[in-house]
């Protein structure tokens, strides 16, 4: 198993633990996955995720914003999935991070 594969599995394991109604940042997930400087790699790992049971939509940037740039998972979809879990947005694609952040 390569380091990249191990890291992705760690990312998916961490993201799977984010509770409904909470979010984590890319940096949080990276640190919890064993690579504190790997926030961008978390984004890449989630881009390649093919398991819909893992709540990828619960990961946002450090400003509490949705930062997806992907046709398969547009910002509107991520926002809708989070709103379905009770998360409120203060402006377009931005939430109150301190209110919803996952304290693992």
- Residue 74 is predicted with a pLDDT of 82
Return the DSSP state at 104. Answer: -
Q: What is the mean pLDDT of each run of 10 residues along the chain (104 residues)?
A: 83 98 98 95 92 95 88 85 97 93 92
Question: How far apart, in whole angstroms, are the C-alpha atoms of residue 42 and residue 9?
Answer: 11
Nearest CA among 8, 21, 81 for reference residue 49:
8
> What residue ranges do the domains of the chain occupy?
3-100
Question: How far apart, in whole angstroms, are the C-alpha atoms of residue 14 and residue 21?
Answer: 16
- Segment 36-65, tens digit of pLDDT: 999 999 999 999 898 889 999 999 999 999
- Residue 99 is predicted with a pLDDT of 97
CATH class of the region 3-100: mainly alpha
DSSP assignment string, 19-72 = PTT-BEEHHHHHHHTT-TT-HHHHHHHHHT---TTS-GGGEE-TTSB-----SS
């Amino acid at each position: 198993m390569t380091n990249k594969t191990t890291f992705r599995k760690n990312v998916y394991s961490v993201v799977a633990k984010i509770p409904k109604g909470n979010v984590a940042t890319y940096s949080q997930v990276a640190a919890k996955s064993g690579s504190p400087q790997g926030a961008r790699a978390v984004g890449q790992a989630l881009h390649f995720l093919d398991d819909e049971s893992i709540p990828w939509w619960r990961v946002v940037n450090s400003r509490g914003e949705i930062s997806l740039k992907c046709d398969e998972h547009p910002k509107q979809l991520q926002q809708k999935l989070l709103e379905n879990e009770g998360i409120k947005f203060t402006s377009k694609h931005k939430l109150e991070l301190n209110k919803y952040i996952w304290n693992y």
